[in-house]
A and B are shown apart, each in its own frame.
Chain A
Amino acid sequence: MMKRLFLIVLLMPFLVVVEQALAEQNIATLRSAEISVEPDAPRMGNEENKDMKRKRNYPMQPPTIPHKTANYRIDLNSNKCLSCHSRRQVDESQAPMVSVTHYMDRDGNFLAEVSPRRYFCNQCHVPQGELKPLVENTFEDIDTILDNKKKKQ
């Protein structure tokens, strides 16, 4: 009994290695080159710049940015996004104001300025590229799910 246990423990690392090797062959990869090769960087895609609001996939989704944001800087000193989208600027810029939740702290108290935890816009809001998706997206929004359910009934 003791001997068998000892053998299993001894072989454990080898088993893991074999398992990994088998697994690697089946991993679908977006990297179309050997791991030891550095392939050429893919061409940079164009950011969509149509200024048309996009549909949200679910009500709480942070809206995606319908314009270019290349070279927009957000750091401790300045926030280029807020120079149009902050409460004080929207009359001049005619841009949509950042939602009121951005002026709340996490306890729901209203602040005079955009809350520091909402300051870095591109943590949630991103522009979209004019690209072919690398993988198929199987997301279904709530309307589709409800419709399917109705059909089944």
Chain B
Amino acid sequence: MLNKIKELWQTISSPSRYFSLGILIIAGFVAGVIFWGGFNTVLEATNTETFCISCHEMEANVYQELKSTIHYSNRSGVRATCPDCHVPHDWTDKIARKMQASKEVWGKIFKTISTREKFLAKRKELAQHEWDRFKANDSLECRNCHDFQYMDFTRQGKRAEAAHSRGLAQGEKTCIDCHKGIAHELPDMAGVEGWQ
């Protein structure tokens, strides 16, 4: 075993016997493009709504609930898809979230929320994860579209204007503190701050 490793190391560490440096560089570059491109293509493919709702857990529960909300259907036709809100847009954060999502693959394999009943029983925990995540990153995914800098308070309702200039402007509050359950139904909110 040890000998085999040593042999492999020698092959790798010694100079190429048949290929020129130029070939190696070009081949390495091409291989790099293929691997990197492939990796990102697959990553992007898993970052689409079609991919999300290819599992019945997402299609039958959360996707159906999204459909009646303003983030799906509205007068101007701009809409948010699953990853717009649930996956960070920056590359490093995205990779971090994707690694966390391996837990979701585990859940799929072991059928953690394979029925409506199981999903409803787990809904509060799952919602709490998202609320915590939004709270921790200052509602980054909301702000990707709803930028506070460009909010025109004069175009908002009186109550919205008051609430936004009180809590949000001072940075005491973040979007998710008030705007829970805007795209999906809520779990039992007993004990959640701000709800009764």
Question: Which residue of B69, B178, B186 is within 8 Å of A77 (Cβ)?
Answer: B186
Residues of B within 8 A of A114 (CB): 196
A77-B188, A78-B186, A78-B189 as given contacts; A51 in contact with B196, CB under 8 Å: no
Interface residues of B in 143-196 (CB under 8 A from A): 157-159, 162-163, 167, 178, 181, 185-189, 194-196
The stretch of A21-29, A86-94, A101-109, A134-142 in contact with B is A86-94
Residues of B within 8 A of A80 (CB): 181
CB closest residue in chain B, given A84: B159
A64 within 8 A of B: no
A97 within 8 A of B: no
Interface flags, A73-86, vs B, CB<8A=1, else 0: 10011111011001
The distance in angstroms between the C-alpha atoms of A109 and B167, with both chains bound, is 36
B121 to chain A, nearest CB (A): 13
The distance in angstroms between the C-alpha atoms of A82 and B196, with both chains bound, is 6
B180 to chain A, nearest CB (A): 8
**Is A78 within 8 A of B195, CB to CB?**
yes
B70 within 8 A of A: yes
A interface, how many residues as a size bin?
A: 20 to 34
A67 within 8 A of B: yes
CB closest residue in chain B, given A93: B163
The distance in angstroms between the C-alpha atoms of A78 and B69, with both chains bound, is 16
User: How many interface residues does B have (CB within 8 Å)?
Assistant: 18
**Is B194 within 8 A of A89, CB to CB?**
yes
Residues of B within 8 A of A77 (CB): 185-189
Residues of A within 8 A of B69 (CB): 71
B181 to chain A, nearest CB (A): 6
Question: Which residue of A51, A79, A82, A95 is within 8 Å of B157 (Cβ)?
Answer: A51
A57 within 8 A of B: no
**Is A94 within 8 A of B70, CB to CB?**
no
The distance in angstroms between the C-alpha atoms of A78 and B181, with both chains bound, is 9
A49 within 8 A of B: yes
**Is B196 within 8 A of A67, CB to CB?**
no
CB closest residue in chain A, given B182: A71
CB closest residue in chain A, given B195: A83
Residues of B within 8 A of A92 (CB): 167, 194
**Is A49 within 8 A of B157, CB to CB?**
yes
The distance in angstroms between the C-alpha atoms of A78 and B124, with both chains bound, is 12
The distance in angstroms between the C-alpha atoms of A86 and B194, with both chains bound, is 10
- The residue among A77, A88, A89, A114 with the most chain B CB atoms within 10 A of its own CB is A77
Question: Which residue of B70, B159, B181, B196 is within 8 Å of A73 (Cβ)?
Answer: B181
**11 residue pairs bridging A and B, Cβ less than 8 Å apart:** A67-B157, A67-B159, A73-B181, A77-B185, A77-B186, A77-B187, A78-B181, A78-B186, A78-B188, A79-B196, A93-B163
A interface residues (Cβ-Cβ under 8 A, vs B): 49, 51, 67-68, 71, 73, 76-80, 82-83, 86, 88-89, 92-95, 113-114
**What 3 A-B pairs are tightest by C-beta distance, nearest first?**
A78-B186, A78-B189, A51-B158
